[in-house]
Amino acid sequence: ADPREARTKIGLIYYEKGDFERAASEFNLVLAADPENDRVRYYLGSTYSEMKAYERALEEFSRIPEKSDYYADARVQLAYLYDRRGEIAKAIEAVQAALQKKKDEKEILALLASLYRKAKDYPKAIEVWQKIAALDPKSDQAQFQLGALYDENKDKDKSVEHMKKAIELNPQNAAALNYLGYTWAEMGIRLDEAENLRLGLLPER
C-alpha cells in the first residue's frame, strides 16, 4: 500500500475529529515526499484555515496550479481569505478565476455577487444575480436578492417587481413579504395590502 495515501487518510481522520495540528502534520509529511499532490495541499490549506492560520492557508491555496482539479475550489477558498482581510478586489479576482473553470456554478456566482455588493458595485452584483435567476428560474432567493440590490441601487420600482416575483415563486418568503409590506407603507400606497403582507397574508388576486 502507498504510505502517502495511508498518511493522507490518517490526516483526514484527525481533520474530521477537529485535531487540526496533527492533521496538518500528516499532510505536511505527505507533501514533503510528494509536493505535486494538489489534493493534499488543498486539505492542508483547509486545515490551516480551521486553525485560523490564515497566512499559511493563503500560501497553500495559492500554490495549487491552474491545471489542477482543485484549482477552482482553491480560488474560492482564497476569495474567502482575501475577503476576511478586507481585500475585496483580490477576492473578486479569485472568484472570477474559479468561474473560468466552473462557469455556471450557482454557489460561486452567489459569492461573486456578494463581493460586488460589499464593494458597493450594485450594477455588477445585479448582473450576476440575473445570471443566477436565468440558470434557476424557480429560485425565489435570486428574485429576493435582485429586489434587495435594486433597492440599494435606489430603484424602488424594479425592487418591488422582483420582490413580487419572489413571493409568486414562494408565498412563504417572509423576507420578501416583509420588505414589500414596509416599502409600500413607506411609499404610502396600498396600505391595506401592505398590512396584509406584513402579516404574511397575500391579497386576493
Complete DSSP assignment for 96-157: HHHHHHSTT-HHHHHHHHHHHHHTT-HHHHHHHHHHHHHH-TT-HHHHHHHHHHHHHTT-HH
Q: Considering the chain, what is the average pLDDT of its residues?
A: 92
* Phi, psi dihedrals of residue 20, rounded to the nearest 5°: -70, -30
Question: Which pLDDT does position 196 carry in this prediction?
Answer: 64
Q: Look at residue 123 and tell me whether its pLDDT is greater than 80.
A: yes
Question: Which pLDDT does position 194 carry in this prediction?
Answer: 55
| Alpha-carbon span 25 to 30, nearest angstrom | 9
Q: Look at residue 13 and tell me whether its pLDDT is greater than 90.
A: yes
Question: Which pLDDT does position 164 carry in this prediction?
Answer: 93
Using CA atoms, how far residue 189 sits from 174, 181, 195, in Å, is 20, 10, 11
pLDDT in tens, 91-120: 999 999 999 999 899 999 999 999 999 999
| Alpha-carbon span 137 to 106, nearest angstrom | 12
How much of the chain exceeds pLDDT 90, in percent? 80
pLDDT in tens, 47-69: 999 999 999 999 999 999 999 99
Q: What is the mean pLDDT of residues 153-174?
A: 93
The helix or strand, by DSSP H or E, that contains position 53, with its residue range, turns out to be: none
The structural domains of the chain, ordered by start, are: 1-102 (1.25.40.10), 104-205 (1.25.40.10)
| Alpha-carbon span 77 to 98, nearest angstrom | 10
Question: Which pLDDT does position 2 carry in this prediction?
Answer: 83
Question: Which pLDDT does position 201 carry in this prediction?
Answer: 53
Question: Which pLDDT does position 205 carry in this prediction?
Answer: 44
| Alpha-carbon span 58 to 78, nearest angstrom | 6
Lowest mean pLDDT among 42-46, 73-77, 156-160: 156-160
Q: Look at residue 182 and tell me whether its pLDDT is greater than 90.
A: no
Question: Which pLDDT does position 180 carry in this prediction?
Answer: 83
